[in-house]
Each structure stands twice: as structure tokens, then as C-alpha cells.
Structure 1
């Protein structure tokens, strides 16, 4: 039993002594190599200065007008970002024109917005990238009064001409609804024949339900409050686009969406026949300076939120790319080919981003630091060897002085010099690899001292007479 206690005590003592020795070696290492370590620290700081900063914890995103599908969709993005530790703040705007203007403004903090494809010609608008299309936005034309059959429309030389004498809202100027409605009207050759009202979508919906206007264009998602309010009103009718294919040829960014009989409401049998709608797409546009990690987060949100099947889209159809006429972000190109970074698949967003930054910073740092760290032991040995050689040089100088001009009265003076030299040698903190050189120096000093302490004084020249 006693031997076990003794073994434990000896093991603990050995561990303590080893730890203390390691600590002394480390402190001595810092003292001797601090110039190189300081240089490495400066290099690391330089790499950090040129590296991307961490992503901001707050992002501003434009949602457009009140009550639209953008607002509903953006709230889902808010929940997604909140789970990732990022605050997504929604900003209401007047529409696509304001969104694009603010995104292109390098001083505006707005960083993301939903904008309809084909709303504006992107030529001359710089600083904006696309993260792809995330949803369909049908172009709806609702009207009041007796339901008009397709044959009546054909006789009137097109659906929109049937309402030229009525009050029709084409959306607020600067909104996506206004832009898309006017393009359709111009393509039909009717822009000079009508006088339209320019009401925001939610005002147009209220006016149509109250009978204050006869018809209204809306460009919005199927789930939006505005669209659902009109689809559920039996006094309001929806016009289909029989010439949808012609419109898509004239305006290639448009898509054809088909609605089967009863697709909106089986009890009301709404619509009462198969109809075709034409649709633009919702595009996720960003300030091209947005942090890449946030771009991947937006794309992942689009995949999870917009990638689900809905009334018009198949599962996995969104996001898709190449439909916005704005340049695709390099991050979107990477995502299209490879998906999300594998780190985001296995780790939380903040940890994946941190690991990515550490890899980005420390790989070049290690490429610079590795050769320097390898050279540290040699640098340390050379530095210590110079100190030992310096003391050897002093010792050799003392010995030379004693040989050339030694007097009996100077012996004590040289002994004091040797004691001081030995004290300096004792202050050296040498690595184990140089212990032999260190003790050889100590032995050499002791040898010179022993020579001075001899009675025969070997450093004193003796006068001798020789009888021949």
C-alpha cells in the first residue's frame, strides 16, 4: 500500500517538475524569439485586414407595397434568418422602381429586394446582382359586372379593348404592376385609346370591390391578400389571356400558367372553363457588395421556402436562374452548380461561417508562418551560440592579457573578472540541445580560475639562469 502511495507521489512530483520545466522553456522561447513572433503577428493582422469581414447581423430588405405577396413571402424569410442568428428587417417601398434605385445607391443601406422580371431595362443600372427567380407573379385582370365570355372578347378585338371606356387601374406609377400592364397594353396597340387610373394595388382592390372602378390590373402572387380578396368575391371576375402564347413571344420573360376549370374554387366552379394566365417571375436582387455568406443564406432560404410546391409551381422549381436580365451573382452561379457549401449542411450558419473564415485566413498565414516556425529552433540555437561564443571571446581575452602582462598583484583582479564572467554564464537559459556547450564554457572558466589559484602561477614568466 505504501509503495502505491509513493508511486503516486513520485508520479505527481515528476509531472509537476515536467510542467514547470516546459513552462520555463516556453517563457524562454518567447523571450528569445519575440522578433519573429511579432513579425508573424503583423502578417496575420495584414491578412485579416484584406480578408472579408464577418457578415453583418442585420440586413434590410424591400418588400414593395402593402398587402402583396412580397410581404407574405418576406415574413417567411424573416423567420428563416432569425433561426440563423441574423435579423432581416423589412422595408416597405412604392414598388420595383424604388427598389432598384435604392439597391443601386451605394450609400443606401438596403441590400436585398424582390423585383419582377422584365420590370425595367437593366442597362445603365449598376451595382445590382441577381440571386435568381423565386416565384411566379401572374398578371391578373379583374373586372366587375356581368361575366364576359371568351367569344365576346374575340369579337371586341382583344380583351383589354373591351374595357377602354371604363375606369381601369393599371397600378401606381413606378410599381411593377404599372410597368407590366403598360407593356401589355402597348403590345396590344391600345395605349393611345384609353384613359387609365394609377392606383396602388390595395387601393385598386378596395375601389373594385366597392364598384368605384370597372377593372384593375394586379401583378402579384396567388397567395397575396389582394388577389385572394378578389378571387373570393363572386361579384368580381377574372379574365384569362387566350393569346398568352403570342404575348410570351413578344415579351420572352413571360411564362404561361394554366388554370383548370374549378381550379380557384370547386364550389363556385371558378373558373368555369380552362383558362390561361401570363406571368412574370419574382426575382431576388441584391446589392452586389453583399457578403457571400449572406448570399448563400438567401439562396438557402429561397430553396427551403420557395422550393416547395404551390398553386403554380412544382416542387424544386425555384429558385431558377437566368430570368432577371441582371447579372447573376458569382455566389448564385456556384449555388446553381454545386448547391450550398458543405459546411452549411453539417454546421449551424454562424459556425460554418466562422470555420470558413478561419480556413480563409489561416491557410495563407500558415503558408507564410510554417517556414518561419521551422526556422525558429535554428534561430534560437544560433542566437544562444553567439552568446556562448561571446563569453568564450571574453575569457580568451582575459587569458591573453594574463600571458602578456601578468603581475602578482593582478591575480585577485582577474579572479573577480572570472567570477563575474561565470555569473553571466549562469544567467544563460540554454536549450537542452546546447547543454554540452554550456557546461564546456563553465569548465573552461573554472580551468582558468584553477590556473590562477596555483602556487606556481603559470601565467607569470619565471626568470631562470642556466649554467652551461
Structure 2
């Protein structure tokens, strides 16, 4: 029993002494190598700051016309960003064309926008990427007058026969509504009639409710206040698109949405038959220079806000990455396959971002520093041996002077020189690998000192005795 206890004590003592020895070597190494390590770290921090700057705390986003569902959606995104410590400023615009033009402008501060699929891309526009589709955006045609049934739309060019002399709003020029209305009329072989007007979303709703116009194209989300206001008005009717499949073939970006009988209002039994609507999608577009962390934040917002179950979409339908209107960003591709970085799920945004950015520095630092750390002990030994060799050269010089000198030796002077030489040797921080060379130098200094103490001119006397 005593033997086992003694063995354990000796084992732990050996481990303790080994740890002390390693720690001593490490601290000595840091004392010698810290300038190099600090210089390396400063260089990497400089590269880090310029190659991977921190994300901005203020981002501007275009949300289209006031009163639109985009503006309401933008408020939800702004609240999400505020919880993460970032200000998302919402900027009202005239519509999709302006949004894309401003996103492509390298001098414009707007970095994100909601844009409908199917809008015409301005010529020469570049520098825009997609973070995917985030919602359905149905194409509604509301009107006043007698109810139209499906068979009223079957004859060639008869789809809007009822409105031949009617006053119809196509949406403001440059808006997504105007683009979608133009394309629908175009595939029907129709152009703008003389009574088509171009009103904004809020103007169209107000004019239709007050009877100033007979019909209006509106492209907006089901939850949008403008759409809800028209759906709740019993005097306003809604057109179904029985040839939705044909439209989707001719305009591939369109989606077909089904509305069962009574879905809008069971009390009114509205609609009183199964309807088919056409829909474009809302796409989240960004300036391709947007910081990756902000892109992930937008995607997280889209998943939290738009990923819920809605009237038309099932849960987790959005964000969707099918048929983007612009190339997907690298961050969107990563998010599609892997989701957000793991740390963002468990840590506050700024903490997770800081750790991710530090990894950008620490990994290269370790990759570079590790081989440096491996080579430094050999370099240190070589440098100490070089210092020892210099002292050997000085000692050899003293011996040469003693040997070549024909006059009497000033013993005191050379003893002082040897003391100074030994003092220089004592100041050296010697690693274990060169201990033998160090003590050999000390022994050699003592040997020369002993020779000096033997006589007035010991080297010549020794040489003469040997010759005799």
C-alpha cells in the first residue's frame, strides 16, 4: 500500500515538475518572441479591419409607395432589425423601376428593396443580387358593375369587353402594378385604351370606392390594408382568372392561387364560387456590396416574418429561392443549404458577428503562427550559440594577444577583461539545448584565468618550457 502511495506521489511530483518546466520554457519563449508575435497580430488585425469590416449600424431600404403592403412589411423588418441593434431606415419610392435604379447606383445609400417578379429590368442595371422571394403578391382586378362569370372571358379579346368604355386604373407608371397590368393586357392582344389612367395604390382605392373609376388593377398582398378595404366593400367585385394556367405558361414567373368558395367572407359567402387568381412574388433585392452579416439578418427576418402560415402560403414556404429575378447572393446560397451561422441562433447578433470576424483573424494567425512557433526554438538556440561563439572569439583574441605579446603581461587588465567576458556570459538566457556550450564557455574562461594566475607571462613561459 505504501509503495502504491509513494508511486502516486512520485508520479504527481513528476507531472508538476514537468508542467513547471514547460511553463518556464514558454514564458522565456514569450519574452524572446513577443515582438514578432505582436507584429504578426497587428498585420492580421489590419488585414481583418479592411478585408472584413464590421457591419454597419444603419441600413436604408426602399419600400415603394406609402400605404402599400411593402411599407407595412418594411415596418416589421425595421422592428426585427431594431432588436438586433441596427437601424433599418425605410425610404418611400415610386415603385420597382426606381428601386432597381437606385440599388444599381453606386452612389445611392439604399441597399435593399422589395421588388415584384416580372418587372422590367432597366437597361444597364448591374450590381444587384437576390435574397430570394419572400411572399406571394396577387394580381387583383377590382371593378364596379354587374358580376362577370368565367364564360365572359373566353372569347378572343373579350376579357375586358365589359370595360371597353370604362375608366380603368393601371397603377402609377413605373410601379409594379403598371408593369403587371401591361403584361396581362399585352398577352391578350390589347394595349392601353384611351380611358386607362395611372393612379397610385391609395388613389386607385379611393377613386374606385367613390365611383370615380370603374376598375383598377392592384398588385398587393392579401393582408395589405388597400386590398382588405376593397374586399370588405360589398359594392366592389373581384375578377377571377379562369385561364390562369395559360397566363402562367406565357408569363412563367406567375403563380396560380386558389380561393375556395366563401374564403374571403363566410358571412357574405364571398366569393360564391371557387376562384383562381394569378400572383407574382415579392423579391428581396440587395446591393451586392451589402455586408454578409446584414444579408443573414435580412434572411433571418424573412424566415421569422414571412415564413409563417398566411392566407395563401403554408408555413416555411418563404423565403423561397426558386426562379430569382436576379442572381442569388453567395450568402443566400449558403442560407438555402445550411441556414444561418450556428452562433446567430444562440448568441446576440453583435456577439456572434464579433466571434465570426475574430475567427477570420485567429485562424490565419494560428495557421501562420504555428509553424513560426515550431521554428522559433531552433532559431533561439542558434541565436544563443551565435552569442556564445562571439564570446569564444573574444576569449580566443585575448589568448592570441597573450601568446603574441613579447613584453610583460598586465595581469590585472586581462583578469578584468575575463571578468567582463564572464559577466556577458552570465547575462545570457540559456535554453536547455545549449547548456553544454554555455558551461564549456564558462570553463574555458576559468582556464584562461588560471593560466594568467600561474605567472608573469604564462603563455610564453608555457611555450618555452614545452620547447625545452
TM above 0.5: yes
What corresponds to 2:352 in structure 1?
352
State the 1:170 CA deviation.
Answer: 0.7
State the 1:127 CA deviation.
Answer: 0.9
Tell me the C-alpha RMSD between the 2 structures: 2.9
Is the Cα–Cα contact under 8 Å of residues 153 and 162 in structure 1 kept in the other structure? no
What corresponds to 2:412 in structure 1?
412
Measured at CA, do residues 48 and 155 of structure 1 come closer, stay the same or move farther in structure 2, by a change above 3 Å? closer
What corresponds to 1:396 in structure 2?
396
State the 1:391 CA deviation.
Answer: 0.9
State the 1:296 CA deviation.
Answer: 2.1
What corresponds to 2:223 in structure 1?
223
Comparing 79-88 with 452-461, greater Cα deviation is found at 452-461
User: 2:102 & 2:462 partners in 1: Cα distance?
Assistant: 102
What corresponds to 2:294 in structure 1?
294
What corresponds to 2:259 in structure 1?
259
What corresponds to 1:271 in structure 2?
271
Aligned residue for 2:459, secondary structure, equals coil
Is the Cα–Cα contact under 8 Å of residues 169 and 199 in structure 1 kept in the other structure? yes
Comparing 218-227 with 148-157, greater Cα deviation is found at 148-157
User: 1:337 & 1:420 partners in 2: Cα distance?
Assistant: 71
State the 1:201 CA deviation.
Answer: 0.3
For residues 258-279 of structure 1, the C-alpha deviation after alignment (integer angstroms, 9 at most, x for no partner) is: 1112111111222222211111
State the 1:119 CA deviation.
Answer: 0.9
Determine whether 1:101 maps to 2:101.
Answer: yes
What corresponds to 1:56 in structure 2?
56
Is the Cα–Cα contact under 8 Å of residues 406 and 459 in structure 1 kept in the other structure? no
Is the Cα–Cα contact under 8 Å of residues 66 and 92 in structure 2 kept in the other structure? yes
Comparing 359-368 with 133-142, greater Cα deviation is found at 359-368
Measured at CA, do residues 31 and 338 of structure 1 come closer, stay the same or move farther in structure 2, by a change above 3 Å? closer
Is the Cα–Cα contact under 8 Å of residues 157 and 189 in structure 2 kept in the other structure? no
Determine whether 1:248 maps to 2:248.
Answer: yes
User: 1:193 & 1:418 partners in 2: Cα distance?
Assistant: 111
State the 1:462 CA deviation.
Answer: 8.0
Aligned residue for 1:289, secondary structure, equals coil
State the 1:230 CA deviation.
Answer: 1.1
State the 1:383 CA deviation.
Answer: 0.9
User: 1:406 & 1:276 partners in 2: Cα distance?
Assistant: 120
Comparing 443-452 with 214-223, greater Cα deviation is found at 443-452
Aligned residue for 2:399, secondary structure, equals helix
User: 2:370 & 2:324 partners in 1: Cα distance?
Assistant: 47
Is the Cα–Cα contact under 8 Å of residues 132 and 283 in structure 2 kept in the other structure? yes
Is the Cα–Cα contact under 8 Å of residues 122 and 326 in structure 1 kept in the other structure? no
User: 2:464 & 2:180 partners in 1: Cα distance?
Assistant: 124
What corresponds to 1:422 in structure 2?
422
1:70-149 mapped onto 2 (5 Å cutoff): 70-121=70-121, 124-149=124-149
User: 2:278 & 2:464 partners in 1: Cα distance?
Assistant: 127
Comparing 32-41 with 122-131, greater Cα deviation is found at 32-41
Measured at CA, do residues 123 and 324 of structure 1 come closer, stay the same or move farther in structure 2, by a change above 3 Å? farther
User: 2:463 & 2:360 partners in 1: Cα distance?
Assistant: 79
Is the Cα–Cα contact under 8 Å of residues 156 and 162 in structure 1 kept in the other structure? no
Is the Cα–Cα contact under 8 Å of residues 135 and 281 in structure 1 kept in the other structure? yes
Measured at CA, do residues 334 and 23 of structure 1 come closer, stay the same or move farther in structure 2, by a change above 3 Å? closer
Aligned residue for 1:459, secondary structure, equals helix
User: 1:463 & 1:334 partners in 2: Cα distance?
Assistant: 84
User: 2:34 & 2:341 partners in 1: Cα distance?
Assistant: 39
What corresponds to 1:447 in structure 2?
447
For residues 5-41 of structure 1, the C-alpha deviation after alignment (integer angstroms, 9 at most, x for no partner) is: xxxxxxxxxxxxx999999977864564366436534
State the 1:56 CA deviation.
Answer: 1.8
Runs (5+) with no aligned partner, structure 2:
1-17
State the 1:192 CA deviation.
Answer: 5.0
1:171-186 mapped onto 2 (5 Å cutoff): 171-186=171-186
User: 1:240 & 1:158 partners in 2: Cα distance?
Assistant: 14
User: 1:334 & 1:158 partners in 2: Cα distance?
Assistant: 48
User: 1:351 & 1:165 partners in 2: Cα distance?
Assistant: 63
Measured at CA, do residues 123 and 249 of structure 1 come closer, stay the same or move farther in structure 2, by a change above 3 Å? farther
Is the Cα–Cα contact under 8 Å of residues 409 and 456 in structure 2 kept in the other structure? no
For residues 56-101 of structure 1, the C-alpha deviation after alignment (integer angstroms, 9 at most, x for no partner) is: 2222111111111112222222222222332222111111001100
Runs (5+) with no aligned partner, structure 1:
1-17
Aligned residue for 2:202, secondary structure, equals helix
Comparing 218-227 with 429-438, greater Cα deviation is found at 429-438
State the 1:381 CA deviation.
Answer: 1.3
State the 1:166 CA deviation.
Answer: 1.7
User: 1:407 & 1:51 partners in 2: Cα distance?
Assistant: 71
Measured at CA, do residues 435 and 287 of structure 1 come closer, stay the same or move farther in structure 2, by a change above 3 Å? same
Measured at CA, do residues 97 and 441 of structure 1 come closer, stay the same or move farther in structure 2, by a change above 3 Å? same
Comparing 213-222 with 367-376, greater Cα deviation is found at 367-376
Equivalent pairs counted in the alignment come to: 448
TM-score (norm 1): 0.87
What corresponds to 2:13 in structure 1?
none
User: 1:431 & 1:51 partners in 2: Cα distance?
Assistant: 40
Measured at CA, do residues 463 and 158 of structure 1 come closer, stay the same or move farther in structure 2, by a change above 3 Å? closer
